[in-house]
Amino acid sequence: RTRIFSGVKPTGHLTLGNYLGALRRWAEVDQHRADALFCVVDLHALTVAHDPARVRRLTRQAATLLLAMGLDPERCTVFVQSHVDEHARLSYLMECTASDGEMRRMIQYKEKKAQGGAEVRLSLLTYPALMAADILAYGTDEVPVGEDQAQHVELTRDLAVRFNQRYGPVFVVPRATRPPVAARVKDLQEPTAKMGKSHARTAGIVYLLDEAETVRKKVARAVTDAHPEVVYDPAERPGVANLLEILAACTGGEPGELAGAYGSYGALKKDVAEAVVEMLRPVRERHAELAADPGYVDGVLRDGAERARAVARPRVDAAYRAVGLLPPA
Ligand code: ATP
Ligand code: MG
């Protein structure tokens, strides 16, 4: 059976970008057709300045949201990265497989380093080694992610191939999968930039737990342009293209075709807002129910970690042996 792994960082409240780029497919498609593991990758949240209490809170919230959007613990494995030691264990071997130069070439490293100010943690640089470990520990075939993670998955493939060539066939070489539309949702206020949950300016970010009225306001204020017609042209008119892609992702149409149905930005924005509100409504409702029962969520995460460990341990042990580390007697 196809093995799928993916994760989300507890660096902020989850966004519409996270949902359309990755999470929705996990629930609607991936868990039904594969042996799938989904992870709140909390260790990755420590690569930038963080508040311990907030990370803890956001980790539980992200896990609760994954269940709220339909991940079924009977069908897939939902867990927290730091509960499974194999991630950190294998990360070190990935650091011993990767080169300094290829880590420094990563776009996310350069971008977050530029935002990071005085403190740039070493772990921000080595992040892709941990991410490769996350993926490779499970013998993963497919990694459903947004477009921004394609480079990291590509590096993961390189590391898997290199490791296998040096030490023997331990790892499956995975590939990234992305949604047909909205693989890179843009910030509504800055439509050339990716919508990101850790960004400081929140006016252009739709959070999954935003109230309906807040979603309507944010969409109504989305930056567009002065062109009189609604046309799908991502390069020249990114704001409108972003709205059309969001609408297409919510309703199932094609952004280019949808454009023809609108005579004004006002009408388009209204429909986008309602489509997003309706899509998120059941997620918010279910989240409220689950948040009232933290014992249930904890139980899911405990079982999930146990299952994940059982899958990861033999392969990580094999990797340790393959590189020449003496197994404990
Ligand atoms: P951060 O700003 O902390 O990096 P993020 O919003 O980018 O947060 P991640 O936890 O890094 O979220 O990514 C989780 C998943 O969501 C990944 O698969 C990523 O590709 C996807 N994703 C993130 N932002 C977007 C976006 N704007 N459009 C589509 N997919 C996205
Ligand atoms: Mg990100």
ipTM of the complex: 0.99
Cβ(198) – ligand 1 distance below 6 Å:
yes
Ligand 1 atom at minimal distance to the Cα of residue 145: 18
Residues of the chain with CATH 1.10.240.10: 212-288
pLDDT for 117 beyond 80? no
Fold (CATH) for 3-179+293-322: Rossmann fold (3.40.50)
| Mean pLDDT, all residues of the chain | 97
Cβ(15) – ligand 1 distance below 6 Å:
yes
Q: Which ligand is nearest to the CA of 10?
A: 1
User: pTM for the whole thing?
Assistant: 0.97
- For domain 212-288, which architecture applies? Orthogonal Bundle (1.10)
Phi, psi of 91 (to 5 degrees): -55, -40
> How sure is the predictor about 116, in pLDDT bands with cuts at 50, 70 and 90?
confident
Residues of the chain with CATH 3.40.50.620: 3-179+293-322
Q: What does DSSP assign to residue 7?
A: E
Read off the pLDDT of residues 130-160 as tens digits, 9 standing for 90 and up: 999 999 999 999 999 999 999 999 999 999 9
Mention every residue, 6+ apart, whose C-beta is less than 8 A from residue 176.
142, 143, 144, 145, 149, 150, 153, 154
What pLDDT, on a 0 to 100 scale, did the predictor assign at position 115?
83
What pLDDT, on a 0 to 100 scale, did the predictor assign at position 119?
84
Residue 284 near residue 105 (C-beta atoms within 8 A): no
Cβ(297) – ligand 1 distance below 6 Å:
no
pLDDT for 118 beyond 80? no
Q: Which residues pair with 6 in a beta bridge?
A: 38
Residue for token pair 């279910």:
286
